[in-house]
Amino acid sequence: MCGSKVRSLTLLAAVGAILALAAPTASAHSPRFFVGAAKADITPTNLEGLYLGGYGIGPSHLAKGVLRPIYARAIAIRDRSGHQVVIAALDLQGHFLAYQQGAYGFADIASDIERRLGIPASHLLLQSTHTHNGPDDLGVWGGVPDSYLARVKAQTEAAIVDAVRSERPADLVWGTADMKGFAGTFGSDTDATHTGDQADYPLDNQLRVLQARSPRGQVLATLVNFSTHPTVYGPLDKVSPDWPGATATYLEDAERNIAPRTRYGYPGSVAVVTVGAVGHSWPAGTPRGTDPSVDPSPKSDNGPADDYGNAVARMAMAAVARHPQPVAGDGVAGAETDLDVTNTNAALLGLLVAPVPGYHIDRSLMPPYGAGDVLITRALALRVGDLAFFSSPGEAYPSIHTALATQVHAPVAFVMSLADDQLGYVEQLADYNGAAQCSLGDEWFFTISPTFGAQLLAAQRANARALGFVAPVPPPPGDLDPGPVPPSTNCTAQQVPQG
């Protein structure tokens, strides 16, 4: 990163005071965990034939430059018994479990790490941040050269290896923040309140933070989990990590264009920023927490993403400064369940098996990752002390997080969308009507099955039981999943014509 090293804990005067008074302090006991974190640059070195993903369909979003570098970031956590888990986030639109072109997928990365470091593949949760100006590793929007897929694989493995090798004794704390007003459904700035459409569609408004601190109180790593699409920008012709990248660089004390001598972030740390239940959720307006005296806009070429991402970072810092909760327990573990998802979407199936020029999906269809119209993917869950982490192999709707958070016995449940695979939207049946019949966007096109969400929840409940979390039987149809209901009841105010 270039630019002057600058620091700021300013949010508003009151919040700034809270952060200053509640800075991490030295641990009074022997830490129960060992934590390391690292990042590796995955910025394309050659833009020829490299498309960016996330807007429209087909090869219309060719990369012509780089607005900000993109990274693979990883945090490794080991307990005193030697058990290990790793969570990594990559600044990509998405990445597949396995590829038709070769051994470039998340499964290949996990296999390599298991062979090199002895960490079971079921203990590695690998996620894309879903930036819509990130390289199109899927092929849907034109794709990327195989050489870039190889670079992503090599650099991701390098980040994981460096994170594991840098492990040191650490205390773990967690916190949450209410993010109402940071996200909305469909239209992102729909009324004078600048909070998006909150009233008629449930959102996951909880930000979740896990932080590792040395015995002396130094912040080593911060993991952020927040549920909204990385679409502060519309389609650019430049590579950009959008708000997750800005949040990470703010927390790492590595922001560009902030005035010298400004104090912010945690110098010397690594921030792993992950997306939660992003389905049906987009950034809304200008969130609280923006600080014009610190944020680089309008002078910065990355101003919109910096403003939003820095506000998310400040909310995360406040969450673990005001009332940090120590992680209870002292063990880490992982569990994994395979999912056989029948692709009922004829358009998507066609692009998988019989692509037309410029329109192709590069995901492997061969065993053990698929067969015919069935895609075989995985649901992975991690346990860190008493905290639960759940993967979703696509864009989970907020109802997926609600179900897991209420049905699994853990103080907080981190849900990681686009983890280990990218198979479109993951909805419950009640969501499916809205996506398939009410959507003004592409949700109908990128939904492969109306039962995908139910399958994921069943698999994750099984994983939760295997990890020692109390996972009761699923509730009868109700608020979480009313089943097939008339589409109009699932259309938000922005989807139904007014008047």
pLDDT at 472 over 50: yes
Comparing 133-137, 259-263, 448-452, the range with the smallest average pLDDT is 259-263
Inside any domain, residue 498: no
Mean pLDDT (whole number) for 369-374? 89
248 and 343 belong to one structural domain: no
* Domain boundary, last residue among 295, 310, 326: 326
Inside any domain, residue 290: yes
Comparing 2-11, 110-119, 443-452, 485-494, the range with the smallest average pLDDT is 2-11
Inside any domain, residue 3: no
pLDDT at 161 over 50: yes
* Domain boundary, last residue among 269, 301, 326: 326
368 and 259 belong to one structural domain: no
Inside any domain, residue 352: yes
Between these two residues, 10 and 159, which has the higher pLDDT value?
Answer: 159
Mean pLDDT (whole number) for 88-93? 98
388 and 317 belong to one structural domain: no
451 falls in which pLDDT band (50, 70, 90)? confident
| Average pLDDT score over the chain | 84
Inside any domain, residue 146: yes
**Residue 311 and residue 16: Cα distance in Å, rounded?**
13
pLDDT at 465 over 90: yes
Q: Which pLDDT score, from 0 to 100, does residue 13 have?
A: 37
Tokens of 275: 């997306």
139 and 285 belong to one structural domain: yes
Inside any domain, residue 407: yes
H, E, C per residue of the chain: CCCCCCEEECCCHHHHHHHHHCCCCCCCCCCCEEEEEEEEECCCCCCCCCEECCCCCCCCCECCEECCCCEEEEEEEEECCCCEEEEEEECCCECCCCECCCCCCHHHHHHHHHHHHCCCHHHEEEEECCCCCCEECCCCCCCCCHHHHHHHHHHHHHHHHHHHHCCEEEEEEEEEEECCCCEECCCCCCCCCCCCCCCCCCCCCEEEEEEEECCCCCEEEEEEEECCCCCCCCCCCEECCHHHHHHHHHHCCCCCCCCCCCEECCCCCEEEEEECCCCCCEECCCCCCCCCCCCCCCCCCCHHHHHHHHHHHHHHHHHHHHCCEECCCCCEEEEEEEEEEECCCHHHHHHHHCCECCECCCECCCCCCEECCEEEEEEEEEEECCEEEEECCCEECHHHHHHHHHHCCCCCEEEECCECCCCCEECCHHHHHHHHHHCCCCCCCCCCCCCHHHHHHHHHHHHHHHCCCCCCCCCCCCCCCCCCCCHHHHCCCCCCCCC
Mean pLDDT (whole number) for 300-329? 91
Q: Residues of the chain with pLDDT > 90: what percent?
A: 58
305 and 421 belong to one structural domain: no
pLDDT at 399 over 50: yes
281 falls in which pLDDT band (50, 70, 90)? confident
Q: Which pLDDT score, from 0 to 100, does residue 358 have?
A: 64
Q: Which pLDDT score, from 0 to 100, does residue 490 have?
A: 44
319 and 338 belong to one structural domain: no
Q: Which pLDDT score, from 0 to 100, does residue 444 have?
A: 63
**Residue 277 and residue 297: Cα distance in Å, rounded?**
28
Comparing 53-67, 391-405, 407-421, the range with the smallest average pLDDT is 53-67
Mean pLDDT (whole number) for 18-47? 76
Mean pLDDT (whole number) for 283-312? 79
Q: Which pLDDT score, from 0 to 100, does residue 495 have?
A: 41
Instruction: Give the domain extent around 451.
Output: 333-490
196 and 280 belong to one structural domain: yes
Q: Which pLDDT score, from 0 to 100, does residue 28 have?
A: 53
Residue with tokens 């492997």: 364
Q: What's the total number of domains in the chain?
A: 2
Inside any domain, residue 106: yes
Q: Which pLDDT score, from 0 to 100, does residue 218 have?
A: 96
Q: Which pLDDT score, from 0 to 100, does residue 324 have?
A: 93
Q: Kindly give the pairing relationship between strand 263-264 and strand 7-8.
A: parallel
Inside any domain, residue 9: no
How many angstroms separate the first and last alpha carbons of the chain? 51
Mean pLDDT (whole number) for 227-240? 92
310 and 339 belong to one structural domain: no
**Cα dist. 328→33, 70, 213, 381 in Å?**
11, 34, 15, 18
146 and 267 belong to one structural domain: yes
Q: Residues of the chain with pLDDT > 70: what percent?
A: 79
Comparing 7-11, 61-65, 354-358, 487-491, the range with the smallest average pLDDT is 7-11
Mean pLDDT (whole number) for 65-76? 97
Comparing 103-107, 122-126, 289-293, 359-363, the range with the smallest average pLDDT is 289-293
164 and 110 belong to one structural domain: yes
156 and 188 belong to one structural domain: yes
Mean pLDDT (whole number) for 88-103? 97
436 and 467 belong to one structural domain: yes
